[in-house]
Amino acid sequence: MIRRAAVLLLLATAAWLPAAPSRAGFTETLPYGAFMVDLSYMLSELDSAYDNRGRRTALVEPIERYEPGGGLQGVLTPKAAVQYQVLVAQIQYGILDNLTFGVGVPIVLQTVVNPHFQWSPGDYQSQLGRSYSQQDFWEWAKSMGQPKPTTWRGNEGVLGDVILGARFRFSDYAAAFDRAGVAMSLLATVALPTGQEAAPEQILAAGTTSWDLHSNGDFGLHLAIDKSFKSSLDGRLILGFEGFHEFWLPHRYDTPSGTINPLLLDYRPYVGAHYTIIPGDFTGASAEVDVVAVKCEARGTWITKGDAAKADALPPLMTLTFRYTFVYLQQTVWKSESEIWDWEREKLWRPGYKNMLYGQALFSLLRYGAPVQPYIGYRNMTWIPGKNCRAADVYSGGLRTLVKFW
C-alpha cells in the first residue's frame, strides 16, 4: 500500500525561537519593551529516509501487486519527492530584560508531492503472453476504479500550527554567572492546533500540522547554557549547548474509505471509522558555535542618539552560526481496530535518531542606523546518517526588524 508521502517530511518551522538580536546564542532575550518582527522563507526538499539499519532509502516502500487469486503482477516502487515552501512570521516582545515572549505563525505557501513511480515486472501472464508492464498495471487498476496517482500540489497559503514560546534567562539573578561569562535559560513552547490535516482520501495529500511537518511536539522544554569570551576574545566567540524534550499528545484521524482510491486506500472496513496516532516524543541536544566575523566600527546614529559608546553594545555587522543537533525519536504508536494495519505504519516510525547540521550568516545593520537584520541559513540531514527518520534539506532566508514604542 502507498504510504502518505507528505507525512514523511521533516521541516523545522517556528518550534525554537531564534536568538534575539543583541548577540547570538541560545540564551539571548530582547530588552524590556522591545519588539522583534522576523519574516523568513523556507524551502524544504525531501526524497529519502533512513531505515531501521541506518541505510538511506526511498520514502515509500516498494509495493507488491498480485492478480486476484493469482501470481505477482509486478512491484511498484514510488521514488517520491516532497517539496514544502513555508513562510514563517514571528513576533517577539521583551517582557523583562531576561524574559521574552514570542509567537510563531507558519504559513505553507505550497506543497508538491511527486510519486515518480517505477515498475519491476512480475510473473508471466498467460492472457497477455508476457509479464505486466507498468502501463498494463495502471490500465488494470483503472478497470477496477483506481486512477493512477499523479503529482499533488496543494496547501497554497494554508496555516500551520501556531507556536507560542517564552524564554527566561534565570542566570541574571546570580552575579557569579555574569562574571564568568555564562548565561543559562529555559524555553517553553506550546503548539496550537491550527494546522490542517491531510485529506484522508488523497494518497499524496500533505498536511500542515506539526506532526505532518515533524518539526516540534505539542509542548517543548529547552534548557540552555552559553559561554561568552568578552575579555579574552573581545566578545567574538560564544559557545552554546541546549538540551530539550518535545512532548506529543494523541491525535485522532478519519480513516480513508477508498472513495477516490478504492484499491489503495480502502481501509475503513477493517481499520474502523477512526484511528489514533500517538507520536513518539523527541529528546535531543544541540551544540552551537557563534563567531563574530565582522564587528564594524561603532558609530553614533539616531538609534543611540548620536552616542558612539552606546553603539558599541549593538550587534556586530556579521555573525556566523554553526550548530549540530542530535534528536532521539521514540516509538510512534497507531491505534485502530486492525493490529496488522497499525504495525505496517509503526514499523516506519520505530525508535531512531536524527543528525542535523545547521549554518547561518546573520547581518546586522544597527551600527549603521538601520534596525534590520537579514540572514540566510541552511540545514542538512543527508551528510550524517540517521535511523528511522526522513532526510530533508532546508534552505532559508529572512529579515528581522527591531521596534520599540516606549
pLDDT value at 134 more than 50: yes
Query: What percent of the chain has pLDDT above 90?
Result: 67
pLDDT band at 24 (very low <50, low <70, confident <90, very high): low
pLDDT value at 292 more than 90: yes
Higher pLDDT, 263 or 106: 106
How many CA atoms lie less than 13 Å away from 247 in the CB half-sphere?
8
pLDDT digits (tens, 9 = 90+) for 195-221: 999 999 998 888 999 998 888 999 999
- The rounded distance, in Å, linking the Cα atoms of 228 and 27 is 11
pLDDT value at 7 more than 90: no
Q: 70: Cβ–Cβ under 8 A, 6 or more apart, which residues? A: none
> Which pLDDT value is given to residue 9?
27
Secondary structure percentages of the chain, helix, strand, coil, to 5: 15, 45, 40
> Which pLDDT value is given to residue 21?
38
pLDDT value at 230 more than 90: no
> Which pLDDT value is given to residue 14?
31
Cβ atoms of 316 and 290 closer than 8 Å: no
Cβ atoms of 104 and 75 closer than 8 Å: no
pLDDT digits (tens, 9 = 90+) for 252-262: 999 999 999 99
pLDDT value at 112 more than 70: yes
- Quote the cell numbers at residue 111: 506543497
Mean pLDDT of the region 384-400: 95
How does strand 389-404 pair with strand 372-380?
antiparallel
> Which pLDDT value is given to residue 70?
74
User: Helix H segments across 289-353?
Assistant: 308-311, 339-346
pLDDT value at 16 more than 60: no
How many CA atoms lie less than 13 Å away from 46 in the CB half-sphere?
30
pLDDT band at 179 (very low <50, low <70, confident <90, very high): very high
Q: Which of 15-29, 222-236, 243-257 has the highest mean pLDDT?
A: 243-257
pLDDT band at 2 (very low <50, low <70, confident <90, very high): very low
pTM, two decimals, is: 0.88
Backbone phi, psi, residue 121, to 5°: -60, 150
- Quote the cell numbers at residue 283: 529528546
- The rounded distance, in Å, linking the Cα atoms of 236 and 291 is 6
> Which pLDDT value is given to residue 67?
79
> Which pLDDT value is given to residue 370?
85
pLDDT value at 141 more than 90: no
Cβ atoms of 171 and 27 closer than 8 Å: yes
pLDDT value at 178 more than 60: yes
Mean pLDDT of the region 106-123: 93
Cβ atoms of 304 and 315 closer than 8 Å: no
Q: What domains lie within the chain, and their CATH numbers?
A: 5-404 (2.40.160.40)
pLDDT band at 129 (very low <50, low <70, confident <90, very high): confident
Mean pLDDT of the chain: 89
> Which pLDDT value is given to residue 187?
98
